[in-house]
Structure formats: C-alpha cells, structure tokens
Amino acid sequence: MFKKVLVANRGEIAIRVLRACEERGIATVAVFSEADRSALHVRYANEAYCIGPAPSRESYLRMDRIIDVARKAGVDAIHPGYGFLSERAEFAAACAEAGITFIGPSPEAIEAMGDKITARETVRRRGVPLVPGSERGLRDEGLVAAAREIGFPIMIKAAAGGGGKGMRAVHDQGALVAAIGAARREAMAAFGNDEVYLEKLIANARHVEIQVLADSHGTTLSLNERECSIQRRHQKLIEEAPSVAVDEKLRKEMGQVAVAAAEAVGYVNAGTIEFLFDSKDNSYYFLEMNTRLQVEHPITELVTGIDIVKEQIAIAAGRKLRYKQADIIPNGWAIECRITAEDPYNNFMPSSGVVSYLKEPTGPGVRVESSLYEGMEISLFYDPMIAKLVVWGETRAEAILRMRRALNEYRIGGIRTSIPFHQEIMESTEFMWGTFDTGFLSRRRVGGMRPHLGEEEQLAAVVAAMLAHEEGRQATMHVGQADNGGKGEPVVGLWKQAGRMRAQRGRW
Amino acid sequence: MFKKVLVANRGEIAIRVLRACEERGIATVAVFSEADRSALHVRYANEAYCIGPAPSRESYLRMDRIIDVARKAGVDAIHPGYGFLSERAEFAAACAEAGITFIGPSPEAIEAMGDKITARETVRRRGVPLVPGSERGLRDEGLVAAAREIGFPIMIKAAAGGGGKGMRAVHDQGALVAAIGAARREAMAAFGNDEVYLEKLIANARHVEIQVLADSHGTTLSLNERECSIQRRHQKLIEEAPSVAVDEKLRKEMGQVAVAAAEAVGYVNAGTIEFLFDSKDNSYYFLEMNTRLQVEHPITELVTGIDIVKEQIAIAAGRKLRYKQADIIPNGWAIECRITAEDPYNNFMPSSGVVSYLKEPTGPGVRVESSLYEGMEISLFYDPMIAKLVVWGETRAEAILRMRRALNEYRIGGIRTSIPFHQEIMESTEFMWGTFDTGFLSRRRVGGMRPHLGEEEQLAAVVAAMLAHEEGRQATMHVGQADNGGKGEPVVGLWKQAGRMRAQRGRW
Amino acid sequence: MKYYVRVDNNEYEIEINGDIVLLNGEPVDVDLVRSGATELYSVLFGGRSHEMLVNADRFNYQINVRGVQLQVQVEDERARRLNRGRRLPTLPDGELAILAPIPGLVVRVLVGEGDSIEEGQPVILLEAMKMENELRAARAGIVKSVVATTGQRVEQNAPLIILE
Amino acid sequence: MKYYVRVDNNEYEIEINGDIVLLNGEPVDVDLVRSGATELYSVLFGGRSHEMLVNADRFNYQINVRGVQLQVQVEDERARRLNRGRRLPTLPDGELAILAPIPGLVVRVLVGEGDSIEEGQPVILLEAMKMENELRAARAGIVKSVVATTGQRVEQNAPLIILE
C-alpha cells in the first residue's frame, strides 16, 4: 500500500480523498493556490504546499509544479479528484514518467474516452447503443448540413467536453449557427479546444449513469445506476440512486453494457458510463464515459456500502477487488443535492462573499461533503459548488423527507446559495412521483420567484423593526441617506450591538 | 399517525427525537428551562415553551408543567427521551390521564422493571439467568450479612438506579460500610430514594446489552447486542455493535432470552436488556432492563438500518412492526464515543464555559448527534454529555480507523472535552484487539497523563511567541504582573487582535 | 415609536413601546434572542420557534429565513416624513440602474436605448466563471441608456444599463 | 526579540527578528494564518500542516492541538529579568493553592495540616453534578492549611487547601 499520497485538487473532493487516505493510514500532501491558504484541505492534510496564484491555470492546472511538489515531498501516488487535471491523459503520463502512481485509469484509456467522438466509435464495436450524431472535425457549414440529416431537435456538444460546458440544445435551423458559436466559445474557454459535434436530441430523456469499478486483475464490476436527470443547463443539481425508471432486469442489462464499454478500452479504476435513457420504451444510448471519480459518487456508496475512493486507492496499489458482482445489492435509497454559491432567485447568478455563519446538518442518515468554514471567502475563481448534501433512507420517500429535514437545518450566512432551490424541488409533486426527465427544470422555471413566506415574512419585518429600535438607528438614518444614500458601514454597527446584547445575556 | 408531539427533554436526544418527528411530517413542541432559551432543541422545534428555572427539578422534572404545556399546545403524544422523566411510571400514567400518548412502555412495565429487585424476580420466573444477590429492603446490617453470604468482591447498586449512579464495587469487608454510605448518598441525590442492594461482582465481566422492539400486536424483536464494556465509574463512554465476544449462535440465544424478559412484563415499545457477560465461559446474567431509548441506540441503527426512534413513534401510534426477526441482519460495524465536557487529564472534572469555536466531523460513515453550537454556554446544571460521535465501517478495523479520523477532525474551543481520552483508547492495542472488559479503564488509568506531543508542543511554543511578538505585549506584561499578577482581561485583547488581523486579511 | 418596514413589495407598520410590539395595529408576542453567533437570532413568535440570520447595513437588513434571503428596509416616522416624495434608489419608481452582480466579461447587450422592456426580460449576457449568465431586468421600464459595451470587462456593481 | 516559552514543564527559547524565527537557536520555517474564526490558526511548519485553537489571556496562552489543551506561558527578555527570583502563582515552586474547579459541596477532606502528599494524591471529595469528584494535588508538597470544611458549599476557584 502507498505510504504518502498527494491530492491534486481543492474543495470538498480534496477533503473527501484526504479522509479516505487518513482512514487507510496513508500520509497526505495537499497543494493550494494563494487564494486557498486557509482552505480546509490545506488544514486537513499532513503537509501542504503552495503551487501558485488563484487562477487555476496558474496553480491547480500546473502539472509541472504539482509533480515537482510530489517529488520533493516523496509521495508514491497522486489522486486527481474530479475536474482540473483528472481527465488529462498527459498528466497521468507525466506521473508515470516521474515514477508516481496516478490513482485513475491509464493515459490510453483517458485518451480513448476523453475524445467523445473516438469514444463513440470504440464502444459501438462492442455493441453499445449510440445516439445518432455527426462525425468529427466538421466546420460550421458541415455541422449545419449534418444537422439537416439528423433532423431537429439536436444537441451541440464539445468534443473535449464534460460537465455540460459547451452544450446547447437547438430546436430549429434558425437558431443553429448562433448556438454553435456560443458552444464553441464556451468549449474554448473551458477546454482550450472549440471542436463541437452534434447528436440527435431525445425528447424527455433521462440521464442515467452506471458506476463501474475495474481492478488490474481483469475484474470489472457494475455498482449500478445513478439517476441524474435534474439538470440546469446540462449541469447536474440533484442525483439519486437507484433510479425509479430502472427495474432489476434493466439494471442488470445496463450494468453489463457499461462493463463492456469499460472493457472496450481496457479500463482500470473507477469510472462512469453515462446513458441517455428514454422512459417511453426503456431504450438507452451511450453518451460518454467519465474516466474519473464523479461528484455524485456518494449516493452509490450509501446504497452499496462500498467506499469508492478507498477502492480507487486499493486498485491503484494493485489490489484485487474484494467483491463479486453478486455482492453488489442496492440497499435503500440515496439522494444528493449540490449546494452552490448561486442565487436561485436571480437566475443562478454566482454569489461571492464571506461565509459569516455556518451550521451544517447532521444526525441520522445525513452525510455532508463540504469545503465550507466560517470566515471562508467565496471567490469567483473556482466552481460555485461549495458542498454536497447527501442522505440515505430505507425508502425513496424516507430519503426525500430526510433531505427536506436536512435542507431546513442547513444555515449558511453571508452568501446566497442554492438551498431554497433544492427545498422547492423536494416539495414538488413531479419530483416526488419521480416522473421527471432532463427537461424538468426548463419546463417549470424553478427559482423564478421566491416562495411566499407568510408568517416568516411578517416576523422578519417585526425583527428588523426591533433591531432598529434597539440600535437607536433613527438618528443615523437621515444622515445616512443625506450623505451617501444609506450605504456603507456594514458589520461595525452589528458588532457593537453584539457586544452590548451579550452583556445583557443575549436577551431583552 | 400523531399530528403533534412534545419532546420532554433537552440536549442531543431532544434534537434526535425532533428530527425523527420532522421526517415523519409531525409538528413538534419543545420545552426548555430558563438556561436553555437559545439551545438547539428550542430553535429546532416548531414551538417551544419555557417550563421553569435551570435546575432540573424546577423544569425538566416538572411533570405538571410539561403536561400543562402539552394540553395548551394540543399535542397528542409526548416523547420523554432518556433520563429525566423517561422511566417515571407516574409520568407515563399522568400522560394517559391527560389523554396524551406516552411514547414508551406502559406505567406497569416501567414499574415492574424500574425496581431492580422486582425486575430480577419477574424475569427469573421466565428462566432468565441472574447474578447472585441480596433481597430487597435491607438496612446496612442486613447488607453486611448478605455480603458475607454472597462473598467478595461484591457490587452495591441503587434499587431505583440506572446510569451507574449509586453504584460501588467493594473488594473486602473493611470498605463495605463506607461504600454503602456513599452509594446511598448518591442514590438519594439522583433518584430521591436511597435503597441499595448487593450483587456478586463477576471479575473481568463485559457489559453486553440487547436492544428490543415490541409492538402492541404481540411482536417482540431483538435488534441484537451492543458492547458497552468501556466504562468509567459504571458510566458508559464507548459502545460498539456488534460485540467481538458474541458469535452468531450466542447472539440468537441472548436475543431470545431478552425477548422473554421483555415479554415477562408485557413490554411494548423500545427497551434494552443489560447483561453481565463472562467471556471465560460465555455465560451471561440479567442485570436490568432499561425501559426507554438508550444513549447508544445509534450504533444499533447503523448496523441494522432501522430507525429506532421512528419505530418508537409508529409503535406508540399502534402500528404493526414492518420487520420479522429474520429481517434483522447485522451489516458492518458501528462505534460510538460519548463526547463530554470533562477534563480527562484532571480526573474527568466537569468543565464549564462558552463554546468559543466549533467544527464537527462529517464525511463518509460519520454521524454526529450533538447539542453544541458556537456561543453555547456549558453550565453545570445538566449532564456533561454534550455530543455523541458515531461511525460505521464495513469492518471493525475500518470503523476504528474512521473513528480516529473523525476524532482528529473534531474541534471544540473554549471548554475541555473527553476527545483526547477517546483518541487514546482508539490507539490502544487492547481496544483494537477487543480483549477488554468493564475493568479496562480502572486498570490502565487512562487520561492520567496527557500524551507527549513532540513537534506540536514545540510548535505551540513558537506560535505563542509569534502571537506575543505580534501583539507587542511586552509593555503590558510588566504592568500586568505588577498590578494584578497577570490575571484578568482575557478575550478583549484577542478581539482587538482579531480586528486588526482581519484587516490584514488574517495574515502576516 | 412607529416603524414602516418594507419586505420586497409588502409594507408593514410596526409600533414599539417598551415591551409592547404592534404589527399593523395588532399586538404580537415576540421573544427575540441572539443565539451565540453574532448574526443568528432565535425568535419565539407566540410560541412558534423561528431562526433568522440577520445582516444589518444601516436601515437595510438582509434576513435569511430557511435559506431564503429577504431584503428588509426600515424607516421610522421621521425618516418616513423626510423620504416622502424623495426617490430612494431601491424604490420601484424612477430610474433604476442594472448593475453587474459579479465581475465579468460583457458577451452581448440584448437591448438598445429606448427599448421598452418587461420585468424579468434578459438585457445583458455576462460571462463569469466560464459560464454565460443572463442578467434580467428587475422591473419593466424604458432603456434610458446603455452603459456597457460588448467585450467590455466590468467590475462588480458597475452600472450596465439605466432604466427609466 | 527573545522569548522564553514554558509548555507544562518544558521551556523553549524563541527568537524573532522580522521574518526570522529561531527555536532554541535553530531557524524554523513557520507560516501562521488565522483561518476565519477568531481563535483558529493554521500553521505550516516546514510544510507540515497543523491546526491550533488559541485563547490568549495576557502572556498566558491556552493552545488546543488535536483536542489536547496546552498551557503556554510567554516571557520576553525584560519580563524574564523582572520575574527572576519572583514567584509567579503558576510556577511549580513555593506555595500552591488547590482551588475548586467547579462549584460544589465538600463531601470529605482527605488530608490534614502538615501531611506530606504526593503528586496526584486525592485531597478532597467534591460533589457536583450529582457525582462525587476527587480533587488531586497537582504536585507533591506539605499541607500548609486546610481552608475547606466538610459539608461546605464552595464557589468555583475557591481555595480549598494550601500546599507549601
């Protein structure tokens, strides 16, 4: 087993991996950008080294610096987490050159699956069903022609893509060219490569994916499906396992197809096969394979009891899987809500600021994977996902009720978050019935208006008046307006107040 | 199902029950003493009412006030939690009179098991094995005589007892009378009844208990055993499930004996049969039945997947149990550490103060049941247990490693806690091998000396010097000593410092 | 003392005399305490328990209830008299500047001067965090002037479009 | 500037000149930042990461590392000169008062005047929180006087026994 592992990532996933290492008795090394000096993952690791300024391309994407730190710290393996360098074949290769184990698949496997078009061709040979689409390397005119052939509606996707970046749905000829432009811009910004391709858009399709684990001794297991249809702009927001749309027979069949797809590229370690799933006739089509740990891996852990990150480490260390396919029996139901620093009532605008108060949910069946701490500064340098709230229940109904309970407990002060959005979804009958698809959000325009709070709104008014009264703000108010329209001087007033109220044993 | 439930308790268990109610869609009512106005359970409930001053006997033990609140708030059931009124037959009766369901056993069952001596006689008739002991109502001379008969070492126990209060081990005639005195004093203080009795002390015995669930339709299930041998002065500190000492066959047999004991008093709802377990010959003896929810119930929940508190509510509402004995299959391993506000390096002296910083562990396999919040004032009015840290692992080894990980993450500022004690135990080979008994702690005098920290101690010295340097305290130091020997003016200095450092973006 | 409190577009009149609190003339039973943390308050409103996170900026309060952020403005009687007639930037009448909520790159301006637009209509495409974000009008109005230009880098709170 | 730092019974000499920090004469590489909360510090000590909770009371620091509470006293050169010879209440030599760590009821006094006692020897039985707690001597010494009496209610920090 490894003696020391470097985690080439930040945020909740870095902490997730550090925890797995600590629980395996492996020493840990974190890397951080100048913006992350006091981040949790830095404090959590046994060692931590700065690798550059805040922007990712100057720090978390700097392979050279990371490998340099790995060498100096004498680690024998690197875990890339998700995002950043996790799906860069050249990074996996660079690790190998440096004599360091990359905890993930081989560069060849990443390569083969990383290019979405090659991937489609590879798995097709193994009889994996595909959505009709365009071939590779087409310029705009070629794409327009291909679109006519495939027929609308169609989906534009980035060849180097992932995570929904550079994706666009187009419903008619007219909007096509503009959409291709936007998709190329996003793809270039996200992956430094603006190649895009087309796929037929399956209406009312679900996004169902299969988690696989493969060791270096020829065993590849399916850990069954995850339902990821609740998406906004092709970004997953809520995932659950199992899927209401998949029965035992289908689960077995899709699992076998997924294993075949993985074996098509001689895949080793943890990976995920994404399918487009058509509830109308239970047909499914290969979308892509993610050759890394997924954001939503915890829901699979909760229903299978298998610690996927620890298995990744064991596999990378050359261990045989301890399980047989027959041991993988789904137990209960798990749901994950992605907590992001975005304002659901302002078109999911990213929200920055300092986390001024934090109390995260806990208790039975609740798991929080979080990068949050009081005093944390949420910057706009990185992905807005700041935490994941995951629950387990004996049944789907219990899981939903538990998620509501946990969301109601979650307190994050100082920034806007997606929590009220998730509360809204957990209350929606469509979600409760499980009769949704990837079009769910666009149809119901969630988060458009904030819910009416009734008593709580009245109460907020009363509380504000009492605080103003207590503070004796009257005097300052006019002045405030006169001089600067009532802006400026935020916390200070409250601090003073805090002091005095504490003196009064917090009561009046 | 109930519409509204009152929780007649405080601290972590009140919150545990409130969560269960919320997850069942039941409205909740909390009661609180004047010391608990801003406690978590008050903020967590839908409604909250003050029932008197800080001392328990003027608030949490005031049946009249609690039932009065219940009537006014229109609740249809009351959950007593553990401690306080949970094992008072007259409270269960008073609820019934008020037409409110008591979520727990009948007053008769509480009565029958509440008096330890009656309990012994009742279960003996069902063939439940007992430890040899004295009969009831003996005065000191009688007890001395009985002790001679039973033979030393013996154990003194409070007839009205529970939770180790009023218990004393005596190894020879000489110490007997003094020990009886101390035991009676404690029993009187704790239960308002100073009757005690004697039991033969089984050397190197383990404490193994069986959780039972019984519905009002004649089904009584065993949820298998918990190992609770890690005790200090008969107070459980660490529990685990299953027990290393109990094999499948024994588990089945003890489960049947426990069910028989429960049925002996027509028991309905959740209860626990405590056994003294002798590893030498796998013999076990009935100690007592706790007719309430146990502190350590979560470890059973984690290995069985059954939510015991939700089952309590369903049973009280007249529902049939959804499980058969065959459905109860232990899965994995769970451990609980009781986090108390006590100083393990000062003879577990209770520690009071304000929780100035808090970060609780989370992530895979970790469950925290906590009453803590930043700014909370830990008073000496109530039990020093402030939180429970519970972990699940696929194996016992994984659970122990995960507990170490979680303990290392736990940050509680402003008070002393038992966390370092638990860290010490999790590192001890005796615990890892599982070869311990109830004498474990007294033998190894844990927490006697704090571990040597090496690098961290040096570092603490460096940090203190840097802070002193930064603060430019030199001037004030002499003055400080001259005038008041260096006492007084605590936080203020730090607040100022805080302000300035924040201005410097927390770095220098 | 009387206070006029606006939460979004609803206004409440609250009167406080010593321990007596009137909400729109009706007496209410409120017990308000801070719970440890500076901005966390526990409120018992006739026995019903609520938690609120409060951030104060002069007479503007941001109150977070169950994850929902409320904008609350308080005026006392005198402030009310003074403000009568005068336009506050936050009041729905008069001019309204659409500001950049985050630093970013203006990808496209979707409206022109003189356009009459609806509440919620997209007006600007702003790229931040590698995503294109639509800025929408907080209320209906006529575009008085377009400050932002395509391709421009804008700082947080930079005015982009002025409505009248 | 030189500092003499005592952690329990170990003393360290730390010298700080600008950015240079010497520990017992050896230069050390320390990066110290506050992480959000007032008393939480993150320390990188030659790349090794540590978290510390620090509470300062003048020149006494309570530092909590991995749940273990350390008592740290800092003196600078001048303070050291001044203190030389003088007895600080917290120093192990000279008189030592055993104080009640919590309010409670004195159940029994286990030692008498003139007794010579060991470090860690029980001296008083104090009942608090319905439990009898043994108070033990922090160090060996002779009992100079017994202040507490059986049955007496004592406040926190009330002196119970004086050692010399």
CA-nearest residue to C8 within chain A is A457
- C33·B73 Cβ contact <8 A: no
Cβ of B16 under 8 Å from any chain A Cβ?
yes
**Contact by Cβ (8 Å): D72, D60:** yes
Residue D130 pLDDT? 59
- A30·D49 Cβ contact <8 A: yes
Q: Is B211 helix (H, G, I), strand (E, B) or coil?
A: strand
- B362·A369 Cβ contact <8 A: yes
Q: Is B488's pLDDT higher than 70?
A: no
Q: Is B219's pLDDT higher than 90?
A: yes
Cβ of B68 under 8 Å from any chain A Cβ?
no
Residue B18 one-letter amino acid: L
Position with higher pLDDT, B305 vs C126: B305
pLDDT per residue over B396-429, tens digit each?
Answer: 999 999 999 999 999 999 899 999 999 999 998 8
Cβ of D54 under 8 Å from any chain B Cβ?
yes
For C134-155, give the DSSP string: EEE-SS-EEEEEE---TT-EE-
Residue A448 pLDDT? 56
Residue A498 pLDDT? 28
Cβ of B456 under 8 Å from any chain A Cβ?
no
Q: Which of B184, B251, B292, B402 is catalytic?
A: B292
pLDDT per residue over A2-35, tens digit each?
Answer: 999 999 999 999 999 999 999 999 999 999 999 9
Return the residue matching tokens 């108390």: B340
DSSP B363: S
**Contact by Cβ (8 Å): B91, B80:** yes
Half-sphere CA count of B166, side-chain side, radius 13 A: 22
CA distance B163 to B171: 21
> pLDDT class for C102, splitting at 50, 70, 90?
confident
Residue B341 pLDDT? 96
Cβ of C65 under 8 Å from any chain A Cβ?
yes
> pLDDT class for B435, splitting at 50, 70, 90?
confident
Cβ of A359 under 8 Å from any chain D Cβ?
no
Cβ of C40 under 8 Å from any chain A Cβ?
yes
CA distance A31 to A70: 9
- B48·C44 Cβ contact <8 A: yes
B504 CA: distance to closest CA in chain A (Å): 14
Q: Is A183 helix (H, G, I), strand (E, B) or coil?
A: helix
* Cβ atoms within 10 Å, residue C46: 10
Residue A289 one-letter amino acid: M
Smallest Cβ–Cβ distance between D33 and the set A38, A47, A49 belongs to A38
pLDDT per residue over A169-212, tens digit each?
Answer: 899 998 999 999 999 998 888 888 889 999 888 888 999 999 99
> Which of B1, B22, B23 to probe by mutation at the A interface, max A CB count within 10 Å?
B23
- A23·B368 Cβ contact <8 A: no
Cβ of B494 under 8 Å from any chain D Cβ?
yes
CA distance B460 to D32: 11
| 3+ Cβ–Cβ pairs closer than 8 Å linking D and C | no
The count of CB pairs under 8 A between chains A and C is 210
**Contact by Cβ (8 Å): C115, C70:** no
User: How far from A495 is each of A411, A491, D28, D38, CA to CA, in Å?
Assistant: 20, 6, 37, 14
The count of CB pairs under 8 A between chains A and B is 83
- D37·A38 Cβ contact <8 A: no
| Cβ-based contacts of B420 with chain D (< 8 Å) | 66-68
Q: Which sign does the torsion angle of CA D18, D21, D22, D27 carry?
A: negative
Size of chain B, expressed as the number of residues it contains = 508
User: How far from B161 is each of B105, B114, B234, CA to CA, in Å?
Assistant: 18, 8, 12
Cβ of C66 under 8 Å from any chain B Cβ?
no
- B362·A363 Cβ contact <8 A: no
pLDDT per residue over A173-184, tens digit each?
Answer: 989 999 999 999
User: How far from A196 is each of A133, A134, A148, A168, CA to CA, in Å?
Assistant: 11, 10, 16, 10
- B506·D35 Cβ contact <8 A: yes
pLDDT per residue over B333-346, tens digit each?
Answer: 999 999 999 988 88
CA distance B299 to B330: 11
Beta strands of chain C (E only): which ranges? 2-7, 10-17, 20-23, 26-28, 30-34, 40-45, 48-57, 60-65, 68-76, 96-99, 104-109, 116-117, 122-128, 131-136, 141-146, 153-154, 159-163
Q: Is C131's pLDDT higher than 70?
A: no
Q: Among A64-68, A496-500, C51-55, name the one with the lowest average pLDDT.
A: A496-500
Look up residue B493 and give its two tokens: 């200095």
pLDDT per residue over D85-144, tens digit each?
Answer: 544 444 345 677 787 777 788 888 999 999 988 877 888 888 876 567 778 777 788 898
Rounded to two decimals, the pTM is 0.83
> Which of D16, D68, D126 to probe by mutation at the B interface, max B CB count within 10 Å?
D68
Reply yes or no on whether A184 is catalytic. no
Q: Which of A62, A120, A168, A292 is catalytic?
A: A292
Q: Peptide bond before A153: cis, by omega within 30 degrees of 0?
A: yes
Considering only residues 360 to 379 of chain B, which have any Cβ-Cβ distance to chain C shorter than 8 Å?
373-376
- D59·B480 Cβ contact <8 A: yes
Closest Cα to residue A160, out of A123, A203, A129, A117? A117
Across the beta sheet with A168-170, the strand order is A168-170, A154-158, A196-200
For A267-325, give the DSSP string: --EEEEEEEEEETTTTEEEEEEEE-S--TTHHHHHHHH---HHHHHHHHHTTPPPS--G
pLDDT per residue over A424-447, tens digit each?
Answer: 999 988 899 998 888 888 877 655
Residue A74 pLDDT? 97
Provide the Cα torsion D85, D86, D87, D91; round to 10°.
-70
Q: What values do phi and psi take at A350, rounded to 5? A: -55, 140
Cβ of D26 under 8 Å from any chain B Cβ?
no
A49 CA: distance to closest CA in chain D (Å): 6
Q: Which sign does the torsion angle of CA A317, A319, A325, A327 carry?
A: negative
- D48·A44 Cβ contact <8 A: no
